[in-house]
Amino acid sequence: MFRQTQRKNLLCLSKQKALKIIDALCLNLYFVLTYFGVVSFMCFAAPLYIQATPFEIKDLHANRIGSYQESYALLIGVYDYTGYWPDLENVPGDIQRIEATLMQEHFHLNRLINPTGDVLKKQIQSFFQKQGQNPNDRILLFFSGHGYTNQKNKKAYLIPTDAPNPIAKTSQLMETALCVSDIIKWAEKLPSRHVLLLFDSCFSNSVFNRRAKTTLPNDISSVTLMPVQQFIVAGIDGNKLPKESLFVDAFVKAIGGQADLNDDQYVTATELSIFSNEMIINSGYDQTPRYGKLSGMGDFVFQVSSNGQLRQEKISDKFEAYLSVSANNSAEVYLNGWNIGKTPLEKFPVTPDKYRLWVKQKDFLPYSIWLDVKYHYHYSLDAIMNRVKIPKSMIFIHTQPDTASVEIKNMAKNFYQGIPLESGSYDIEVKARGYEPHYQRVDVNGNEDVYLDVRLDKMPEISQELENSIGMKFILIYPDNYMMGSPDAEKERDADETLHRVTITRPYYLGQTEVTQGQWKKVMGDNPSFFWNCGSDCPVENVSYETSLLFIDKLNKLESTDTYRLPTEAEWEFSCRAGTQTQLYSGIMSVNAKGNSPELDEVGWYINNNCIEYATRWPNNDYECISRGTHPVALKKPNAWNLFDMHGNVYEWCMDIYHKDAYQKHAEKDPIYMEEGPGYVVRGGSWTHYPRLARSANRDYFLENKASNYIGLRLVKEP
């Protein structure tokens, strides 16, 4: 029986071997020509003898919603530059890692190594023309090599092996390099429904300037199968990439299942983008990814599969080679589409060749790997078969108002419409500013989707904004709970920012801006500001904690009230975040090698973006600004609650005494720390400090009698 199976298998595979020999001859010819400098590229189609493997896509209820007929990838690696550009030693290994990952994803692979400019353009066009014509196919392009941005025309280019110096020979470079815009135009014309462009390079382009939202994508559905062209760029112009590619490492881990953010057994390009972005941003390197959709509403899909470990051992047996396969569950084993038995499969004889090995079993995710079998080796594969997850129920919650937020309290993931839930009970919280929160327990049975309609009741009428007698504007802040501090993964966080839940139980008004010099002068009659010539709309500074309390006391007497005070540290951070959990209220913050943060530039003044004309010149200045100082309030983008300058301009005093362990002593509701400490808390960073100090969670302190030209205040007014 064993011998008959072997003879049948070898007979079937021998017909395919002739094609393999032709491929080998062509490949050998390539190496010979490359050695003599005749060609500088390699491009070969996926072997014809590998059976096509349609990739079915199913929803959470295991219903088939569509499929990919074929999957094609062009992997381009440029590392051996002949002129101005330095060589990239990591590229060959990166190409191999990407190739190995895509082999398990049913892709037919094409390589293009060290192409000249002409070859790069022709081969990409040829790849798109030949492989991108079926609407049911998915097309992936991966480029690893130098990128370049022309600052005059603002266009991005892929740098081939023969590209000249971009400064000395700009016009020649434009003719040699490949403009990314051309690739985008070619991709947009493809009939293929799903196209993904991956660039492990650093450059900028108008289509890459704005990152997509980092919200969790919906589960696989019919919308996913709609047409789409997507891109991911490893970094922007000016980033200095590490020797080992963070992007490739993120890609391999993502497709291996770590980016399955909504646990539906698929990794979409959106999930890949979010995962890669978080992994790269938090790596500590100066690298800012960009990603998004060029067109369309769908999403490129990868399938999470089972995994395995392959070992090979040199043997002295006279037979050519053997294959053994084991698995944690009984499974069928296939070589190039032919069933050769079940696991455990012991020492199955195989002839030296290149094979596609599959391990499959009903109700389990398949495992696949390429085997390059050599003479006198024993190949042993241990497959870990992961069971197909049981279909889950999806929950949809319609709220009134429709701007209300929804949170599943006993679930780690953020809510989104259609989020999958296993059987069990879930605590739902629905809330919106100006409305009473709604709490409800929902039972899910795992077989039926859940639909809820929640209508919130309005809180008692209260002014959303108010203005006092000296022109201070205040914004109503509604009570709620939030996570105060920063997560362990936040870049450049401090040890005193322990993440913990805090509940604000009472509404309060917070100054829309920092107290200005003009407002201070109306109350106190003087202007203590160092930057007095900035103007009356600039924040008052050079005020101590003690002086701030005197100002508040006089303001209360002026308006015959006792409702003005400094914010607590918990109130300040709650107001700053305005519902966010990122470094800035506008999102994730990145910092380049020069200390500049494009995200912080949008919302605040800090040390590298606050050039002024009225201040004295700073000697031995290390920054682009010759002189620096404060700016008028409300010039930058406000947060979601319409508060300005919560990041930068001047530090703001809080009521709390500072202690590095204050968060461990916080009450859950309305916490304030007033025990022993070295000084009083200040928040928000300033015009003379680095970006990290402007983060929402950053804490600092000064003595109560400390006055400085970078410390001001913002007031709370109680209703």
The predicted pLDDT at position 32 comes to 38
Distance CA 367, CA 426 (A): 35
- pLDDT for 638 equals 97
The Cα 164–Cα 275 span in angstroms is 35
Residue 294 carries which side chain, given as an amino acid letter? L
Answer whether residue 17 shows pLDDT above 60. Answer: no
In the structure, what pLDDT confidence band is assigned to residue 48 with cuts at 50, 70 and 90?
A: very low
The whole-number average pLDDT for the span 20-33 is: 40
User: In CATH, what is the architecture of 54-59+67-303?
Assistant: 3-Layer(aba) Sandwich (3.40)
What number is the average pLDDT over the span 479-496? 93
Q: How far apart are CA 100 and CA 103, in angstroms?
A: 5
CA atoms within 13 A on the CB side of 286: 12
Least confident of 314-328, 477-491, 664-678: 314-328
Q: Is residue 13 scored above 70 in pLDDT?
A: no
Q: How far apart are CA 717 and CA 618, in angstroms?
A: 38
Question: Where are the CATH 2.60.40.1120 domain residues in the chain?
Answer: 393-455
DSSP H helices in 141-245: 170-176, 180-188
Least-confidence region, from 181-185, 384-388, 560-564, 645-649 = 384-388
Least reliable range by pLDDT among 157-171, 428-442, 617-631: 617-631
Q: Which residue has the tokens 């509404």?
A: 507
DSSP-derived letter for residue 27 is H
Could you report the per-residue pLDDT of 104-134, keeping only the tens digit for each? 787 889 999 999 999 999 999 999 999 888 9
Output the DSSP codes for 583-624. SBTTB-----TTS--HHHHHH-B-TTS-B-SSSPPPTT--SS
Instruction: Read off the amino acid at residue 194.
Output: H
Regarding predicted confidence, which is higher, 650 or 257? Answer: 650
CATH of domain 308-384: 2.60.40
Question: Region 24-36: what's the mean pLDDT?
Answer: 39
Q: For the packed helices 117-131 and 180-188, what is the interaxial angle rounded to 10 degrees?
A: 10
Structural domain 393-455, CATH architecture:
Sandwich (2.60)
In percent, the amount of the chain with pLDDT more than 90 equals: 50
Strand partners, 428: 408, 440
Best CATH choice for the domain 465-717 from the list 3.50.50.60, 3.90.1580.10, 2.60.40.10, 3.90.79.10: 3.90.1580.10
Q: What is the pLDDT of residue 455?
A: 94
d(C-alpha 568, C-alpha 593), whole Å: 35
Overall pTM > 0.75: no
Q: What pLDDT does residue 34 have? A: 37
pLDDT tier at 7, thresholds 50, 70, 90: very low
Q: Which of 226-230, 337-341, 521-525, 617-621 is predicted with the least confidence, judged by mean pLDDT? A: 617-621
Q: Which amino acid, one-letter code, is at 623?
A: Y
Domain boundaries for CATH 3.90.1580.10 within the chain: 465-717
CA-based radius of gyration for the chain: 31
Least confident segment among 321-325, 349-353, 613-617, 689-693: 613-617
pLDDT for the residue 518: 97
- The boundaries of every CATH 3.40.50.1460 domain in the chain are 54-59+67-303
pLDDT band at 37 (very low <50, low <70, confident <90, very high): very low
623 vs 226, which has greater pLDDT?
Answer: 226
Is 321 within 8 Å of 398 (Cβ atoms)? no
